[in-house]
Structure 1
Amino acid sequence: MNVLTIVSHPRKDSLTSKVALEFIKGLEDAGHKVELFDLYQEEFDPLVREKDEPDWKSEKNIYSSVVHKEMERMNRNDALAFVFPVWWYNIPAMLKGYIDRVWNYNYAYGNSKLPHEKALWIGLAGGSKAHFAKRKYDKMIEHYLNIGLADYTGIPHSKVEILYDTLSEKALDPVQFGDFQKELLTKGYQLGTEFSRWE
């Protein structure tokens, strides 16, 4: 399976980026082909300008060359994976802008749907699992990504994995950080190796 892996974090040395690399390693070890798209490193512009605003009266919209390039990138792959920090109980603005701009009318919704079999959303959250569950933030995020985005655009299989506690005491303690980071990286690798085992 060809998996487009989209990473959204401004720092290349971030925990998010490290988890993404381990996830990719797991995918490749499981026999998948990976195309990496780092939104920040490639300086993707997330702002929707007039050229990329759909004309609802038109059956066929011609968007900017950047958007058509990203549609072609998506079309080269069978599945999608996203690795990102959870900010304000949501995906980062950069990733939201990418979706707003590229998952456009009559490509991802309207008279056409996305061709991908599955999407995996890997979010790194500063809070604890109990904190997210208490206010149902976890369910809110899952519903938005699995139903509001994936299901709406025709992706039949979508899954959300949140890696918690990235701002916990053990994560911020230099003595404990090594073991904590190893735990998250191992989970990232595991998600890659198990990518084809869930529906």
Structure 2
Amino acid sequence: CPQAVASNRMKALILYANPDSDSYSADLKTAVHKGLLTAGHDVSEIDLYAMNFQAAMSPEERLRYHDADPIVSHQIQEQADLVAASEILVFVYPTWWFGMPAILKGWFDRVMIPTVAFDINPETKLIESKLRHVRRLVGVTTTGSRKWQSFLIADTGRWVICRAMRLLSHPNARSTWLHLDRVDQRPFRQREMFLKRVETKLSRL
């Protein structure tokens, strides 16, 4: 009922990384967006390629990494503010070489920094999370390889999203991994089925 949807309403942020606007990944992003809206969430998107996000950390960023104010650009501040306001983080991307596209890895390097994702206690030197507001983490990806190959080699994207980010999130946070393997060999029907699965899964968050 509408009252139940409103009580579960959260702010969701979609991180999208694929340079091809006509790709299957773009269809997956649309499915994610639709599902989140169906669930009643407020949805924002970051399209890293569309905004020409620079993956490489600058020398100044590295020098200021452990400063009290390490953010050196307006663009990074905007990204950090979106993360700080979000309770759901969804990452949509194709897996290349058993990992994230470089632009998304660069986003983690440049945005998930001290004061945004974590702090380091000056006395204990232990990491203290800044992401306890995040309650749901979702990874949506495709691979050309089989799932057992990704498992054998170690899918670094899954480890980052479902393990590392999960450790920094709310103690009761949950992670969801949606992966379609052998995407280039799949018939249209199977691709459509996966799109529906993704939309349905996100609509139930």
Shorter-normalised TM-score: what interval? 0.7 to 0.9
Rounded to whole Å, the distance in 2 between the matches of 1:180 and 1:120 is: 21
Q: 2:107: which partner in 1?
A: 98
Q: Which deviates further from its counterpart, 26-35 or 108-117? A: 108-117
| Structure 2 equivalent of residue 29 of structure 1 | 38
Deviations along 1:6-45, whole A, 9 cap, x unmatched?
Answer: 1100101100110110111011112112111111112212
1:1-199 to structure 2, matched below 5 A, reads 1-53=10-62, 55=64, 58-111=67-120, 113-114=130-131, 115-133=133-151, 135=152, 137=154, 141-151=157-167, 153-155=168-170, 156-168=173-185, 171=186, 177-194=187-204, 196=205
2: CA distance between counterparts of 1:22 and 1:90? 22
Task: Report the Cα distance in structure 1 between the residues aligned to 2:52 and 2:88, rounded to whole angstroms.
Answer: 23
Partner of 2:125: none
Q: Any conservation in 1 of the 2:139–2:176 contact (CA below 8 Å)?
A: yes
User: Which ranges in structure 1 are unaligned for 5 or more consecutive residues?
Assistant: 172-176
Whether the 8 Å CA contact 1:51–1:64 is kept in 2: the answer is no
Contact 1:20 1:188 survives alignment (8 Å): no
Cα RMSD between the aligned structures? 2.1
Matched-pair contact (CA < 8 Å) for 1:6–1:38:
yes
Which amino acid is the alignment partner of residue 159 of structure 1? T
Letter in 2 for 1:154: S
Deviates more, 1:107-116 or 1:29-38: 107-116
Q: How many residues align?
A: 185
Q: Aligned partner of 2:196: which letter?
A: T
